[in-house]
């Protein structure tokens, strides 16, 4: 099968979140199973630097008023297609300006990405390659299936994966002609959403299949609490809305071969002690506390529940625990955590921003990783943590619920626990989970058992890739009758 991945970001070229990790890893796992995958990305500066001088394999003089060229290159195991449109993509911010506002031409930027993907699906590339399936990701690619349907392209199947439904690609209804959208589709049953155009809704309605990044998140999206206004659309498509849990790149995230840390393995955890010592030094913490060293690698937003962590931090410190945090986001939360680091310089270390090497060191050196999200479509943090023997303390929502086996009495008795779960959105529940973490940490042999359970837990892409291969075959067979 020939599959065209279309996304707005991809590791190692450009990243703002977990979408990039998935798009960078899943195509490789699919290729290992015989799927011919090419990945179409916007031509941001970091992307174009890797295709410099490559000949175009598709071009058009006028895509929403701009010249467009698709250039192909092999990059870090990916068969990359870069959409070279400097007027739209040669800028530093993927989605927002330096001031944090959406780029005003975002509708045209990502309609262009969808339009070019649809053109490739309809007519193929100049080297003769044409996809059987277009696998689109998030709102930035939501118009692909709509364009293909409007053009009457019937032999190419379409799949849309929702990584986070809270981002939907809304824009003014007056743009529908300029975006070349079919007028008849602008209804409540189509791509209209409270009088506006909704890119994601267009994709949900017109794609053959919709997937989400965990089974629990797929169910949650059918409720008003999580569906962000699109719960009715997803409920109506229930039979064709499927949750497939994400994986992680287990070659990139391998504590036995990670150059950023003191290496260790499930057979020998001795390198973890050296990694913990190095982490404490990196954050200038004295390391004299007897409790667990908790780590956080996250965007600093209320969605991630970091305000709840601030509320329980004093009792964590009183119990002789410590915290290291890497992240950025909400200025209010940045300032609050920076203030905590100033007030408790021996026990709280904070780094505002993102540093990939430091993230690896936090997973390798922390005793536990906190993920107190109010909602989490899948989450990769807890999988990285398990891989590195840092026990996850997670809210029971989305993919966090699907990946962590809570250290309750039954799981501890059966010897299968891999971390700690608690009810999302509750400061008291988070506090109780942290207290339980302290209690288990005090039983060294039990803690080591949980660490080894976590490290052996399957978190790679092999299983999810198998499910996608089956889904591709089934969807294509249905589309072609």
- For the stretch 303-314, pLDDT in tens is 999 999 999 999
Q: Which of 398, 434, 394, 401 lies closest to 311 in space, CA to CA?
A: 434
Q: Does domain 2-247+462-480 have CATH number 3.40.50.2000?
A: yes
User: Domain residue spans in the chain?
Assistant: 2-247+462-480, 270-456
Length of the chain: 481
pLDDT in tens, 229-274: 999 999 998 888 899 999 999 999 999 999 999 999 999 999 999 9
Q: At what angle do helices 462-480 and 18-31 cross, to 10 degrees?
A: 80
In this structure, are residues 295 and 386 in contact, taking their beta carbons and an 8 Å threshold? no
* CB crowding 238-258: b at 16 or more within 10 Å, else e: eebbbbbbbbbbbebbebeeb
pTM (two decimals): 0.93
Q: Are strands 348-352 and 420-422 parallel, antiparallel or unpaired?
A: unpaired
Q: Does domain 270-456 have CATH number 3.40.50.1820?
A: no
At residue 130, the 3 state secondary structure works out as coil
Domains 2-247+462-480 and 270-456 share a fold: yes
- Count of CA atoms in the C-beta half-sphere (13 A) of 2: 11
Mean of pLDDT over the chain: 96
**Residue percentage of the chain with pLDDT more than 90:** 96
Rounded distance between C-alpha atoms, residue 26 and residue 9, angstroms: 13
Task: Give me the residue label for tokens 């203030």.
Answer: 339
Q: What is the pLDDT, as a whole number, of residue 95?
A: 96
Rounded distance between C-alpha atoms, residue 463 and residue 473, angstroms: 16
């Amino acid at each position: 099968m020939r599959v065209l991945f279309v996304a707005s970001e991809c590791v190692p070229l450009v990243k703002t979140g977990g979408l990039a990790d998935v798009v960078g890893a899943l195509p490789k796992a699919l290729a290992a199973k015989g799927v011919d995958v090419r990945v179409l990305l916007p031509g941001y500066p970091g992307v174009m630097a890797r295709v410099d001088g490559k000949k175009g394999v598709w071009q058009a003089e006028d895509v929403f008023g701009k010249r467009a060229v698709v250039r192909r290159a092999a990059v870090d195991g990916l068969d990359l297609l870069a959409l070279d449109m400097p007027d739209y993509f040669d800028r530093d911010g993927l989605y927002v300006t330096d001031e944090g506002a959406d780029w005003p031409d975002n509708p045209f930027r990502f309609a262009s990405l969808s339009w070019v993907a649809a053109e490739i699906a309809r007519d193929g590339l100049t080297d003769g390659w044409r996809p059987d399936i277009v696998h689109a990701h998030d709102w930035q690619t939501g118009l692909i299936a709509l364009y293909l349907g409007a053009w009457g392209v019937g032999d190419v199947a379409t799949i849309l994966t929702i990584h986070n439904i809270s981002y939907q690609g809304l824009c003014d209804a007056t743009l529908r002609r300029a975006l070349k959208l079919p007028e008849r589709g602008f209804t409540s049953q189509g791509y209209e959403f409270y009088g506006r155009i909704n890119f994601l809704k267009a994709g949900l309605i017109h794609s053959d299949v919709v997937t989400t990044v965990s089974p629990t998140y797929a169910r949650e999206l059918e409720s008003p609490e999580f569906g962000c206004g699109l719960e009715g659309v997803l409920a109506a498509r229930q039979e064709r809305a499927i949750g497939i849990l994400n994986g992680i790149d287990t070659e990139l995230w391998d504590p036995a071969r990670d150059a950023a840390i003191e290496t260790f393995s499930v057979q020998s955890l001795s390198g973890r002690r050296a990694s913990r010592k190095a982490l404490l030094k990196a954050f200038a913490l004295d390391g004299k506390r007897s409790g667990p060293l908790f780590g956080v690698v996250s965007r600093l937003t209320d969605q991630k529940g970091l305000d709840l962590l601030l509320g329980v931090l004093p009792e964590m410190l009183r119990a002789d625990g410590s915290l290291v945090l890497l992240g950025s986001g909400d200025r209010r939360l940045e300032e609050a955590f920076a203030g905590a680091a100033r007030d408790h310089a021996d026990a709280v270390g904070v780094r505002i921003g993102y540093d990939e090497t430091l993230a690896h060191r936090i997973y390798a050196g922390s005793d536990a990783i906190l993920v107190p999200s109010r909602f989490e479509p899948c989450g990769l943090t807890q999988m990285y943590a398990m891989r590195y023997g840092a026990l996850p303390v997670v809210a029971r929502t989305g993919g966090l619920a699907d990946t962590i086996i809570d250290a309750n009495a039954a799981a501890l008795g059966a010897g299968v626990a891999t971390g700690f779960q608690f009810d999302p959105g509750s400061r008291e529940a988070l506090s109780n989970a942290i207290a339980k973490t302290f209690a288990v940490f005090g039983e060294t042999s039990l803690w080591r058992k949980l660490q080894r359970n976590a490290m052996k837990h399957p978190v790679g892409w092999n299983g999810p890739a198998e499910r996608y291969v089956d889904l591709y075959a089934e969807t294509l067979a249905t589309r072609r009758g």
